[in-house]
């Protein structure tokens, strides 16, 4: 089932999808499931999510080893916890937004970890991008301890996290999802009910593999176009009216318009995600020849020192090989379409 979606005022129901009334303005309707949240990881994605959880009427105890990130959410109304165990003590829900599989396992089962410190009645909600096998292992270990779990990685961008319009593919049983639905809809406008634990992570990996493969192909195409004597502005407008309409030209405008490679989504995380997707595909014996090229390009980009820059830094490697620079001539990509939309 899918819960939510921006296609209408209430959201369009597509198979297993649930709706939310008004993106960015969700308020809780009941207090039946409890209102205390332990939130682990309040950086570029988690910070925006915490603010929306607070707006939804929840009490949040937050932990992050980065004092600057933690201070920002404390200023918004969260309590600063001194450790993972401190954040989750007495919580009704535990939300985890950390970089990868090992981090999730450390948060759950490491020293002062969540599993030992959180109430057995609480729900552990895993939002990081990890592989399905690790997610299934974490879920099984938590179940042995009597703790319910949801596999709910984040789709979309840091801006969407701040605006409360993420998408959550959610693996787990329906009763647990029902109990956490109001909390999740503070941060998202769409919930995709994918099936068992591990399927939420599978959807996220499939999504990111496709996303990153399209990005790398788009970078190669426009670099070839520029070296062929074409203007970036004209190419992108032409793409917009064909199946070559890559969304990266809209969502990553600072790169194309200003050569701004600040993240967004860091190259090192993009490389991690597509690596996990390739490993997952290998475990299922599914060929991923096209995605393999994107994986190699992202690995090279991180290796060249662009790991903490935007994923669009793959452009720098292709430009260097081609001997050209790719940049919007007008400084306003798709400007003609924007003007038409405002008429």
3-state SS record for 244-262:
CCCCHHHHCHHHHHHCCCC
- What is the percentage of the chain residues whose pLDDT exceeds 90? 87
CB 99 within 8 A of CB 44: no
Dihedrals φ, ψ of 170, to 5°?
Answer: -120, 120
Place of tokens 């490993």: 279
Confidence (pLDDT) at 27: 52
Confidence (pLDDT) at 15: 38
| Distance separating alpha carbons of residues 51 and 42, to the nearest angstrom | 10
2: helix, coil or strand? Answer: strand
Residues 283 and 164 both lie in one domain? no
Confidence (pLDDT) at 9: 34
Residues 66 and 180 both lie in one domain? yes
Residues 168 and 209 both lie in one domain? no
On the question of pLDDT at 14 being above 90, the answer is no
On the question of pLDDT at 13 being above 50, the answer is no
Residues 182 and 50 both lie in one domain? yes
| Distance separating alpha carbons of residues 52 and 24, to the nearest angstrom | 8
The confidence band for 34, taking pLDDT boundaries of 50, 70 and 90, is: confident
Q: Write the CATH number for 36.
A: 3.40.50.720
Total domains in the fold of the chain = 2
Nearest to 265, CA basis, from 103, 124, 99: 99
Residues 86 and 122 both lie in one domain? yes
Residues 157 and 295 both lie in one domain? no
Dihedrals φ, ψ of 26, to 5°?
Answer: -70, 130
Residues 81 and 132 both lie in one domain? yes
Q: b/e string for 250-273 if b means 16 or more Cβ within 10 A?
A: ebbbebbbeeebebbbbbbbbbbb
**What pLDDT digit, counting tens, does each position of 184-194 carry?**
999 999 999 99
**What pLDDT digit, counting tens, does each position of 300-311 carry?**
999 999 999 999
Residues 264 and 323 both lie in one domain? yes
Last residue of a domain, one of 177, 195, 213: 195
Please count the CA atoms within 13 angstroms of the CA of 70 that sit on its side-chain side: 18
CB 206 within 8 A of CB 286: no
Please state the pTM of the whole predicted model.
0.91
**What pLDDT digit, counting tens, does each position of 147-158 carry?**
999 999 999 999
Per the model's pLDDT, the better-predicted residue between 9 and 341 turns out to be: 341
Pairing mode of beta strands 2-4, 188-195: antiparallel
Residues 171 and 37 both lie in one domain? yes
Q: How buried is residue 109: exposed, middle or buried, by Cβ count under 10 Å (0-12/13-18/19+)? A: middle
Last residue of a domain, one of 195, 215, 230: 195
Residue 311 is classified by DSSP as G
CB atoms within 10 A of CB 279: 12
Is the alpha carbon torsion for 207, 211, 212, 217 positive or negative? positive
Q: DSSP letters of 69-104?
A: HHHHHHHTTPEEPSSHHHHHTT-SEEEE--SSHHHH
Domain with 153 in it = 2-195
Residues 23 and 70 both lie in one domain? yes
Residues 299 and 319 both lie in one domain? yes
Confidence (pLDDT) at 343: 44
**What pLDDT digit, counting tens, does each position of 100-153 carry?**
999 999 999 999 999 999 999 999 999 999 999 999 999 999 999 999 999 999
| Distance separating alpha carbons of residues 316 and 130, to the nearest angstrom | 28
CB 24 within 8 A of CB 164: yes
CB 191 within 8 A of CB 13: no
Confidence (pLDDT) at 193: 97
Last residue of a domain, one of 195, 222, 256: 195
Q: What is the mean pLDDT of the chain?
A: 92
On the question of pLDDT at 213 being above 60, the answer is yes
Q: Write the CATH number for 269.
A: 1.10.1040.10
Residues 149 and 12 both lie in one domain? yes
Confidence (pLDDT) at 18: 62
| Distance separating alpha carbons of residues 215 and 28, to the nearest angstrom | 38
Q: Where are the beta strands (DSSP E) in 100-209?
A: 123-126, 148-151, 166-171, 188-195
Confidence (pLDDT) at 4: 62
| Distance separating alpha carbons of residues 221 and 343, to the nearest angstrom | 31
């Amino acid at each position: 089932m899918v819960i939510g979606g921006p296609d209408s005022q209430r959201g369009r129901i597509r198979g297993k999808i649930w709706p939310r009334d008004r993106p960015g303005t969700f308020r809780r309707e009941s207090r039946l499931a409890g209102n205390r949240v332990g939130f682990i990881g309040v950086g570029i994605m988690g910070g925006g999510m915490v603010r929306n959880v607070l707006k939804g009427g929840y009490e949040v105890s937050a932990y992050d080893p980065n004092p600057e990130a933690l201070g920002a959410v404390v200023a918004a109304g969260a309590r600063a916890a001194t450790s993972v165990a401190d954040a989750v003590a007495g919580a009704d829900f535990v939300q985890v937004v950390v970089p990868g599989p090992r981090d999730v396992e450390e948060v759950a089962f490491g020293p002062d970890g969540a599993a030992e410190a959180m109430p057995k009645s609480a729900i552990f909600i895993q939002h990081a991008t990890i592989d399905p096998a690790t997610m299934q292992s974490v879920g099984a270990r938590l179940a042995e301890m009597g703790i319910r779990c949801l596999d709910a990685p984040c789709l979309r961008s840091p801006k969407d996290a701040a605006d409360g319009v993420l998408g959550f593919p959610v693996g787990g049983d329906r009763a647990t999802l029902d109990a956490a639905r109001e909390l999740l809809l503070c941060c998202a406008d769409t919930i995709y009910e994918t099936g068992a634990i591990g399927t939420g992570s599978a959807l996220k990996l499939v999504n990111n593999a496709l996303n990153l493969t399209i990005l790398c192909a788009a970078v190669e195409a426009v670099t070839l176009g520029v070296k062929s004597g074409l203007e970036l502005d004209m190419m992108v407008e032409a793409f917009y009216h064909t199946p070559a309409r890559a969304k990266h030209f809209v969502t990553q405008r600072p790169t194309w318009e200003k050569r701004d490679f600040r993240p967004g989504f860091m190259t090192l995380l993009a490389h991690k995600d597509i690596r996990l997707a390739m490993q997952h595909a290998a475990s299922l014996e599914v060929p991923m020849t096209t995605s393999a090229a994107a994986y190699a390009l992202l690995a090279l980009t991180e290796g060249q020192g662009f790991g903490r820059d935007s994923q669009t830094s793959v452009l720098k490697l292709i430009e260097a090989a081609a001997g050209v620079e790719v940049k919007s001539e007008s400084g306003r990509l798709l400007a003609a379409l924007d003007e038409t939309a405002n008429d």
